[in-house]
Structure 1
């Protein structure tokens, strides 16, 4: 009989311990998700600094006065592969009109990003977010996700999913300085 009580006691302790761990985990993940506010149209675009493939640092705040087409992508992302050539063509049209593209890769190895950039003709700054801190600050979930930032540094549109070339052209017109 003593053995039965001891086994029941051990079972109860294990069960309560598992419940406590699950509760603590749930509370922690709830707080961790609240670390960054969800960005909305009209919000100031969070500033960041990342290095491009040539080793040059790009800080978002230095682009004030220009429209910024901030695109988050991955080399494995099929829609990203489709829209990159169109982004490159439109960048060539709008770069002298004060519209810049910053293409932010999400933590892939340098060699993979370079190969992708070469294959898809990425002529605009290509940055790698190694720590995913910029991705987290912008609450990027699906790829591709693009933020249109006006010359005053405000988010004017958030686009998730693939864009056509005509979409890209319209978006660049939307953020082009007056």
Structure 2
């Protein structure tokens, strides 16, 4: 039994590792703020400042930091939202000024004399890149020549200024175009932003950044506890040594000390999640669908005309997605005698995983599989759930980022207004 426990801890980043906390915590004063730092000491030449995105439990991040310290990388773990008493989420990351991160870079080097790299995931990539540019601007204005910043290691960065209305392209934060430092980018292969990656890299490289990219196959969210797939657990075992190699690579790549101009973000249409159906603003003609369900049976939709079709993109790890399933079941029941169709498309989960889910949760509508996420990319889906409503003319009428109660009377009535006239009504006309 003791041997089994040791093996589990070694191979699956047992939660006991997260409880093996570092011996030192301290704060760094920046302007009028004190930033708390959790310290993982090490004797090697690298120091990584890791910025927590603020969402979910950080146990896996703590585990990786502990493993890095054992491999000789000193880690400063920072939760900026917590230090500033900000609500957790993307809005907090977008609100943080780069001066705080820039001061941390200077402080880390002054205290240790080490080569500094920044790390972040999801939306914490925004203050990371802002801080780097702020540090460059200071080096430039003060005529400094020290080059102790290696670059950044980012995990599935979310660098959007906002989530636009469903069907529209995202608008990136202006810091993307003002970034010219080397970046190692680890992208979860099954994360929703996977198919925006080429656009992001193109923007970064246009500004002069050297981007080294690695796709993590089969991973949805490396540092999200609910992602327990074998691919993710295996990647977690390998990632500490890969980060060490990444830091060595960044050290060998020149980091410019010249800050690029920072432009204003253009105005965007739509923002965040929706609480009701909204008129669709993207390309109104829906893509064709050729997918199979969890039993391997194909379903093809080439022509959406002459009925109202609701297409719901979701994932079983997405709590709002799961919570809205009962109301979708009720909607389908209320519309069962109408010219109406409801289907869902599951995002990038394994067949066995979905089959197990469907045995536990009652789903009364077809569930199609999008195994690599390319179908979702065709529809420009960025968040889950996302739902499209197609009218009898075959064009997308409404779109929705987020979950709602689909069986609410006002929602049902809104869908009914799209229905084609009944046969009796046509005869009367």
Q: Cα 1:63–1:56, aligned 2, differ >3 Å: closer, same or farther?
A: farther
Q: Is the 8 A contact 1:70 1:146 kept in 2?
A: yes
Q: Provide the residue aligned with 1:113 in structure 2.
A: 354
**Partner-residue secondary structure (3-state), 1:118:** helix
Instruction: Name 1:66's counterpart in structure 2.
Output: 307
Say whether the 8 Å CA contact 1:148–1:171 is kept in structure 2: no
Check 1:54–1:158 CA distance in 2 against 1; reply closer, same or farther (3 A cut).
same
Q: How many residues align?
A: 154
Q: Secondary structure at the match of 2:331?
A: helix
Matched, 1:176 2:419: yes
Deviation string 1:109-163 (CA, Å, 9 cap, x unpaired) is 1122122233331121100101212100111011000000112210101111111
- Residue correspondence of structure 1 range 12-51 to structure 2 within 5 A: 25-27=201-203, 40=281, 43-51=284-292
Distance in 2 (CA, whole Å) between partners of 1:90 and 1:105 is 19
Query: Could you tell me the TM-score, scaled by structure 2's length?
Result: 0.32
- CA–CA distance in structure 2, aligned partners of residues 29 and 139 of structure 1: 23
Q: Which residue of 2 aligns with 1:153?
A: 394
93, 96, 103: which one aligns with 2:344: 103
C-alpha change, 1:57 and 1:158, in structure 2 (3 Å) is same
Separation in 2 of the partners of 1:128 and 1:73?
A: 10
Q: Which has the larger radius of gyration?
A: 2
Q: 2:331 maps to what in 1?
A: 90
Measured in 1, the distance between the counterparts of 2:368 and 2:309 equals 14
Instruction: Kindly report structure 1 stretches of 4+ aligned residues shifted beyond 4 Å.
Output: 19-22, 27-30
CA contact (8 A) 2:307 2:391 kept: yes
Provide Cα deviations, 1:60-100, integer angstroms capped at 9, x if missing partner. Answer: 22443221100000001111111101101211221331111
Q: Is the partner of 2:337 in helix, strand or coil?
A: helix
Q: Compared with structure 1, are the counterparts of its residues 142 and 176 closer, same or farther at alpha carbon in structure 2 (3 Å cutoff)?
A: same
**Aligned residue number for residue 298 of structure 2:** 57
| Higher percent of residues as helix | 1
CA distance in 2, matches of 1:152, 1:29: 42
